[in-house]
């Protein structure tokens, strides 16, 4: 959420942000509703202050023991004069209260509309972000690693996994519908190994490991910016006003909501391994084959909460991207990093870098990581602040990135590490998690 003062002072910038991000936001209506809201607030504040002052005055006028009453008598005023004035002020008070009630009733719908409109206001993108309509206009920054050239006809991950008995899509669909799967035997072990490797690497870098709830209150989804715009992507437990999360970013980022931290507490670095749920609404007919676009998966997420400092946020953004790159490099997977364009950014993201890993079956790079910088957008919604050394209170900055997400990452691992005989060579860093074995072979 943006500061409304910022919106008022930068109307054209906010309008441009909405256009560039392809987000529906009626900025002019917001500014008008804000004007009405502030005008009503001024009227109410003035009337409430008058009620307070006049109430105190009536109390003094009707208390013969008060110093004010005694001074009035000493100045020659009679009891009848003082009583008459008290009755007059009391009558005026009686006229003010209905006016206040009327204004409060008018204020309710205006505040409700204001709050709804504020939830639609996008964060302007960083000047370094390319303007573009969608992911096709993201800008490649670098490529790392070499794409493997096969001396045999390679299989895709589904054919490999099915033949090895480690992936079962058919029964996954039978049990849970489309975009579902089962991992068996070494498939499940490989999946868990990847997650453990990523988590262990993050813990070694000082990130605090967390086990977090994946079913959260809806206000947490609003607070992190996933509602209202992303509501159709979430699995809702409407009877309980709860939602399954699509990423551990949600509970990790909201951990300190409605709290004021100490400057000395920052930065805070978390990582969490959790199951993630996504409806993939609007993806009908897109990426329906295999493990690429599925309804649930497991992910190690990294989140940083830091001071309200742009330069510091940018440094941490580079750090979390490097963390993910280091995992891919350890696994020996070729990838590229792209600067995501405005049309592919979310509402609260200032800048996002995607990491895309080479997948032979797609004959191209597929997204496996997203690293986002939010500045104070999420913290404002979550009321997450810190007090600096001068006792001033500021909103925190937040950042997050995937460390690894599986089973999507199993696509390049299986396809790039396959052998002509149908076996798969296990990347060296994963072998300790699979009993030291070097290959996955059909049992």
**Could you give the C-alpha distances from 352 to 124, 346, 348, 391, in angstroms and in order?**
13, 9, 10, 32
Q: Classify the C-alpha dihedral 430-175-301-208 as positive or negative.
A: negative
Q: How far apart are CA 262 and CA 17, in angstroms?
A: 33
Q: What are phi and psi of 36, to 5 degrees?
A: -60, -40
Q: Which residue blocks in 177-286 are alpha helix, DSSP H?
A: 186-204, 218-223, 249-253
Starting at the edge strand found earlier in the chain, the sheet holding 215-217 runs 215-217, 242-244, 236-237
Question: 369: which residues sit within 8 A by CB, 6+ positions away?
Answer: 324, 354, 355, 401, 402, 403, 404, 405
Extract long-range pairs of 419-428: CB within 8 Å, 24+ residues apart.
420/151, 420/152, 422/155, 422/160, 422/163, 422/164, 423/164, 424/160, 424/164, 426/190, 427/330, 427/331, 427/332, 428/332
Q: Where would I find the beta strands (DSSP E) of 360-408?
A: 364-375, 384-387, 393-395, 397-406
* Catalytic residue set: 278, 293, 367, 370, 408
Q: What are phi and psi of 212, to 5 degrees?
A: -120, 155
The four Cα atoms 185, 188, 191, 193 give a dihedral, to 10 degrees, of -70
Are 380 and 1 within 8 A, CB to CB? yes
**350 three-class SS:** coil
Q: How far apart are CA 65 and CA 77, in angstroms?
A: 15
């Amino acid at each position: 959420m943006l500061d409304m003062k910022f919106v008022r002072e930068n109307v054209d910038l906010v309008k441009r942000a909405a256009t560039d991000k392809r987000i529906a936001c009626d900025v002019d209506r917001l500014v008008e509703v804000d004007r009405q809201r502030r005008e009503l607030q001024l009227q109410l504040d003035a009337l409430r202050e008058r009620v307070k002052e006049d109430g105190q005055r009536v109390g003094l006028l009707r208390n013969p023991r008060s110093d004010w009453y005694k001074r009035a008598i000493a100045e020659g005023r009679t009891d009848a004069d003082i009583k008459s004035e008290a009755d007059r002020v009391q009558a005026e008070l009686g006229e003010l209260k209905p006016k206040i009630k009327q204004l409060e009733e008018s204020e309710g719908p205006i505040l409700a509309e204001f709050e709804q409109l504020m939830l639609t206001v996008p964060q302007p993108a960083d000047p370094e972000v390319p303007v573009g309509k969608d992911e096709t206009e993201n800008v490649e920054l670098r490529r790392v690693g070499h794409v493997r050239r096969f001396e045999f006809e390679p299989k895709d991950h589904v054919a490999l996994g099915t033949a090895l008995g480690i992936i079962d899509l058919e029964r996954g669909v039978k049990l849970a519908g489309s975009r579902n799967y089962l991992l068996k035997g070494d498939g499940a072990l490989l999946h868990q190994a990847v997650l453990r490797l990523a988590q262990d690497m993050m813990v070694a870098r000082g990130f605090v490991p967390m086990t977090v709830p994946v079913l959260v209150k809806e206000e947490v989804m609003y607070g992190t910016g996933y509602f209202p715009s992303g509501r159709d992507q979430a699995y809702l437990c409407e009877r309980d006003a709860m939602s399954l999360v699509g990423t551990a970013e949600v509970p990790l980022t909201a951990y300190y909501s409605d709290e004021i931290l100490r400057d000395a507490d920052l930065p805070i670095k978390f990582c969490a391994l959790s199951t993630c749920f996504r409806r993939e609404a609007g993806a009908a007919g897109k990426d329906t084959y295999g493990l690429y676009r599925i309804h649930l998966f497991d992910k190690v997420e990294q989140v940083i909460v830091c001071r309200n400092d742009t330069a510091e946020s940018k440094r941490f953004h580079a750090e979390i991207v490097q963390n993910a790159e280091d995992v891919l490099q350890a696994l020996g997977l070729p990838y590229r990093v792209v600067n995501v364009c405005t049309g592919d950014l979310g509402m609260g993201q200032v800048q996002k870098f995607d990491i895309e890993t080479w997948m032979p079956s797609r004959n191209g790079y597929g997204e496996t990581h997203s690293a986002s910088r939010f500045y104070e957008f999420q913290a404002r919604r979550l009321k997450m602040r810190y007090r600096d050394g001068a006792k001033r209170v500021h909103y925190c900055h937040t950042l997050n990135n995937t460390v690894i997400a599986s089973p999507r990452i199993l696509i390049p691992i299986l396809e790039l590490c396959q052998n002509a005989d149908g076996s798969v060579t296990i990347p060296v860093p994963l072998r300790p998690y699979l009993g030291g074995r070097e290959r996955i072979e059909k049992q």
